[in-house]
Amino acid sequence: MKALRVELYQDHVCWRQETGYRFFQTYPLPTPSMVRGLVHKLMGVKPGGNRYIPLKISIQGRYDSIFVDMQRWDMETKKRNGASNADSHTLMFWEELANVCLTLHIAFKNDNETNLIKLKEGFIGNTVVLGRNEDITRIDSIDIVELVTPSNKLSPKYPMFMPKNEDNEGYPVFHLPFAYSIIGSQRIFKYIDACLINAGSQIKSKYCLVACNYPEHPVCFLELNDDDEKDISEK
């Protein structure tokens, strides 16, 4: 099968976790929902349009260091007489990753080759943001590649998300948002469980694919099951 392979660089980024108040921790890699949102944006799918494009995503990457950024946020409050008071402020703390390199593989379940070409054009013709509005991304490489089943075990160059299975027990497990539907004014997410596999780990060939010129970047697709995908598509 074919997939779009994209190498990205970010000098600093926060892929904010859902929990936290005034101190926002980051995921070690972008979630499938963040990548899916980027794909939809680059392909012209309007936010809130409840149009879901079925796809599969492989996410791997590394960073040099982690730091905490402190920001002062001005807050507008109301006095008892109804007038605004803009003097109030609070401190926010953001956990951020520095010097991030990512390798993404993206494939579509329907009209794959047509959508891959459209997505590639979207990456090339637009400013790519993955994370917060200020988390601008540089594209270092982009190409449509042919994926095959490897004949032997593979070792990833970077840490990567991999669907949870009986062979990767012991690795950290993340309950990752993948996609959502809008019901009323609320976003209802569908989640998947994925393990964070260390760089250099041995991955059995039955769990991954690979592009012939990139054996150091095995592809482990994350995807929704058929029932969840149908539920999202019908909303």
Q: Would the pLDDT of 36 be above 80?
A: yes
Distance, in Å, from the CA atom of 223 to the CA atom of 106, rounded to the nearest integer, reads: 11
pLDDT in tens, 129-147: 999 999 999 999 999 999 9
Reported pTM: 0.89
In this prediction, residues 154-159 reach a mean pLDDT of: 95
Average pLDDT over the chain reads 89
pLDDT in tens, 7-27: 999 999 999 998 777 889 999
Distance, in Å, from the CA atom of 140 to the CA atom of 60, rounded to the nearest integer, reads: 15
What is the pLDDT, as a whole number, of residue 183? Answer: 79
What is the pLDDT, as a whole number, of residue 77? Answer: 55
In this prediction, residue 230 has a pLDDT band, given cuts at 50, 70 and 90, of confident
- Of 126, 122, 146, nearest to 136 (Cα)? 126
Angle at 120 between CA 43 and CA 216, to 5 degrees: 125
Assess contact for 217 and 211: CB atoms under 8 A.
Answer: yes
In this prediction, residue 208 has a pLDDT band, given cuts at 50, 70 and 90, of very high
In this prediction, residue 229 has a pLDDT band, given cuts at 50, 70 and 90, of confident
pLDDT in tens, 70-83: 888 776 655 555 55
What is the pLDDT, as a whole number, of residue 49? Answer: 53
Residue indicated by tokens 């590649």: 145
Assess contact for 167 and 148: CB atoms under 8 A.
Answer: no
What is the pLDDT, as a whole number, of residue 227? Answer: 82
In this prediction, residue 51 has a pLDDT band, given cuts at 50, 70 and 90, of confident
Neighbouring CB atoms inside 10 A of 50's CB total 15
What is the pLDDT, as a whole number, of residue 42? Answer: 94
Domains detected in the chain = 2-65+95-234 (3.30.70.2660)
